[in-house]
Amino acid sequence: MAKNITTDPDLEQKIENLIAQMTLEEKIGQMSQVRHFDDISPEEIKTKFIGSVIHTQGPLPGNNAAEWQSKFSELQKQALSTRLGIPLIFGVDAVHGQNTYEGATIFPHNIGLGAAANPELVEKAAAITAIESKATGFNWVFSPCVAIPMNEKWGRVYEAFSENTELTAELTKASVIGHQGKFGNSGVLATAKHFIGDGATDFGVEGGSTTLSREEVLERLLPPYQAAIESGIASIMASFNTLDGIPMHAHKALISDLLKGELKFDGIVVSDWKAYSRFGQNDIINAGIDMVMAVDGDLDLFQEGVRNGVLDGSIPENRINDAVRRILRQKFRFGLFDHPFPDKTLIGKIGIPEHRAVARQAVRESLVLLKNENHILPLKRTSRIVVVGPMADNSGLQSGGWTVNWQGTTENYKDATTILEGIKKFTLHEVRYDREGTAEVENVDVAVIVVGENPYAEFFGDIGGEMNLFQLTLPEEQQKFITAYAKRGIKTVVILISGRPLVMTQQIEQSDAFVAAWLPGSEGDGIAEVLFGQFDFKGKLPHSWPKSVEDYKGKYGPNFWDNSIEPLYPFGFGLNYHNKL
């Protein structure tokens, strides 16, 4: 199967020498990942021999990038002051840019990059994410998500590139290389996640059960991981779902035998959130998990549990050595022993125009034109335009989950541009803005109506799941915007902001032009550049587009094994100005 990545005998020797000096406590410490607040005090980094620190939701490490860096440097000093001085690695959920830092460049979520289907662009976006992550003190990102979503009800569809395995594998490669800089000291460790079956659970339930056959898993879900391993991925995160009725974290056959054995993955298998107490404690270590997110009260349970397991023989010591070897290997490969502290000169690169230009290109290329009757698009500079809906002038709403906060934000955020601001740059007339969709505007040629889903992340976004906050159709109050303008005979261009294809058959029918814009991120003005014809549409559907809610009666969405369901638009569909379809 996948070829082994380069092994360096000198490096391997260095690692073995270090392991030979380590006590059991030091080894277990290396396997521990904690948050920078709550889970530990700075001194405990030293006394508990912590291997990694994570920042995600919760108190910020500081008020600006310099403060973030110095907070992490302070923790790093603790680690370096231990007997063996092994540096920490700092991980972050930078899944579309360094999205935990307000003011960073925010790219379209992966579903948009799947629509753009441009590996070179994905590589550039990942390289910029690496720079801005390093500038805020990190050297490890929990990205890319390489799931193959098989049901649009899943709340994480947008974190993945596409329902198509080949496209996902191709973009995964580009993403890994972009993030990691080919093992260079310039890159950050990337993480392919969530291994395996996260997007293929029955009915799209986050962390649910995946009931595919082994052949289907190997054929449809595994190739992106093979691509990631061939590109030298540093880590792979285990998934919350079960497979074969076994929690993936405890699935020894897939983690140890397949991933590490057959596929020769030599990096870190990292657990997901609080996995130790959730998925069978030492079972996950014996299955092959190397580093554990020992957060939210799990740290002592984990450290003591593993220690007792080794002492009573239920965890073989060579399993612990394998885990530590993998962690140290990446710390050496990424130059952490030589350069443990963040580079202050990178701070000036956060959100710079060059980075935003790439994000804007990504926005432009991600837009999929589904309908353009009577060539209503491109818009003319002389058109009298009304822009409709709260999503049109809100950078938080246009960016989705994992933006500033875990669940995203419903507010404008620093240095981002909204869709309305972009449109204003192009028009010669004053643009009217009907935020509530109820104004009786007159003398307009065209209404640009922006509708879609409010931000969500993880299980919050599941449809019909635990939270049940979302639906497969457009919320009714937004459907009314389209109906109201169409009724008045005003031409309508509908822009859909969403993390997945929604059932919009009737709204597409009602509108004159329809654009799937996914979750574009901070550069909302990329949309106007295409609407006004400065650039052509390039995006192609990364998912087949459903026709009706009925299509979801089975386990999966349209086009998955059930050939009797015909999507409204197939995978790969997308119009442009040039071909004037």
Would you say 153 or 356 has its CB closer to ligand BGC?
153
For 12, phi then psi, to 5°, come to -60, -35
Q: Identify which of 375, 376, 368 has the alpha carbon closest to the alpha carbon of residue 490.
A: 376
DSSP characters over 157-211: GGGSS-S-HHHHHHHHHHHHHHHHTTT-TTS-B-EEEEETTGGGSGGG-TT-EE-
Q: Identify which of 244, 301, 241, 252 has the alpha carbon closest to the alpha carbon of residue 276.
A: 301
Q: Identify which of 475, 497, 486 has the alpha carbon closest to the alpha carbon of residue 392.
A: 497
Site string for ligand BGC, 359-388 (x = CB under 6 A): ------------------------------
Tokens of 556: 């999966």
Q: How far apart are CA 109 and CA 122, in angstroms?
A: 11
Give the pairing of strands 368-372 and 268-270: unpaired
Question: Cα separations (Å) of 318 from 249, 264, 299, 468?
Answer: 19, 17, 22, 45
Would you say 199 or 546 has its CB closer to ligand BGC?
199
Least distance to ligand BGC, CB of residue 142, Å = 4
Binding to ligand BGC (CB under 6 A) within 236-255 occurs at none
Chain position carrying tokens 């830092």: 101
* Catalytic residue (choose from 206, 458, 512, 551): 458
Q: Indicate the SS3 state at residue 503.
A: strand
Q: Looking at 72, 142, 225, 532, which residue binds ligand BGC (CB under 6 A)?
A: 142
Would you say 474 or 519 has its CB closer to ligand BGC?
519
Would you say 106 or 490 has its CB closer to ligand BGC?
106
Least distance to ligand BGC, CB of residue 387, Å = 34
Binding to ligand BGC (CB under 6 A) within 444-463 occurs at 458
Q: In what order do the strands lie in the sheet with 292-293?
A: 140-141, 89-92, 52-55, 32-35, 292-293
Least distance to ligand BGC, CB of residue 88, Å = 16
Would you say 52 or 417 has its CB closer to ligand BGC?
52
Alpha-helical regions (H) of 334-432: 353-366, 419-424
Least distance to ligand BGC, CB of residue 272, Å = 5
Q: Is 337 in the site for ligand BGC (CB under 6 A)?
A: no
Least distance to ligand BGC, CB of residue 56, Å = 4
Q: Identify which of 158, 233, 224 has the alpha carbon closest to the alpha carbon of residue 197.
A: 224
* Catalytic residue (choose from 93, 266, 272, 551): 272
Least distance to ligand BGC, CB of residue 193, Å = 6
Would you say 97 or 524 has its CB closer to ligand BGC?
97
Least distance to ligand BGC, CB of residue 248, Å = 12
Binding to ligand BGC (CB under 6 A) within 254-273 occurs at 272-273
Report which secondary-structure segment, H or E, holds 90.
Answer: strand 89-92
Least distance to ligand BGC, CB of residue 293, Å = 7
CA 88 to chain CA centroid, Å, is 23
Site string for ligand BGC, 77-106 (x = CB under 6 A): ----------------x-------------
Question: Cα separations (Å) of 229 from 121, 169, 181, 498, 531?
Answer: 20, 11, 14, 31, 39
Least distance to ligand BGC, CB of residue 182, Å = 23
Would you say 208 or 546 has its CB closer to ligand BGC?
208
Residue 521 CB: number of other CB atoms within 10 A? 30
Let me know if 415 is a catalytic residue.
no
Q: How far apart are CA 570 and CA 2, in angstroms?
A: 31
Would you say 56 or 548 has its CB closer to ligand BGC?
56
Q: How far apart are CA 507 and CA 519, in angstroms?
A: 19
Q: Is 56 in the site for ligand BGC (CB under 6 A)?
A: yes
Beta bridge partners of 523: 417
Q: How many residues bind ligand BGC (CB under 6 A)?
A: 7
Least distance to ligand BGC, CB of residue 160, Å = 11
Residue 440 CB: number of other CB atoms within 10 A? 7
Close Cβ partners of 283 (under 8 Å, ≥ 6 residues apart):
249, 250
Least distance to ligand BGC, CB of residue 145, Å = 7
Tokens of 85: 């001085």
Binding to ligand BGC (CB under 6 A) within 399-438 occurs at none
Let me know if 244 is a catalytic residue.
no
Q: Identify which of 3, 179, 37 has the alpha carbon closest to the alpha carbon of residue 96.
A: 179
Q: How far apart are CA 95 and CA 143, in angstroms?
A: 5
Would you say 470 or 552 has its CB closer to ligand BGC?
470
Would you say 163 or 272 has its CB closer to ligand BGC?
272
Q: Indicate the SS3 state at residue 327.
A: helix
Would you say 52 or 398 has its CB closer to ligand BGC?
52
Q: Identify which of 232, 251, 259, 298 has the alpha carbon closest to the alpha carbon of residue 28.
A: 298
Q: Is 277 in the site for ligand BGC (CB under 6 A)?
A: no
For 465, phi then psi, to 5°, come to -95, -155
Q: How far apart are CA 540 and CA 185, in angstroms?
A: 35
Whether 571 contacts 549, CB under 8 Å: no
Q: Looking at 193, 355, 500, 555, which residue binds ligand BGC (CB under 6 A)?
A: 193
Catalytic residues: 272, 458
Binding site for ligand BGC (CB under 6 A): 56, 93, 142, 193, 272-273, 458
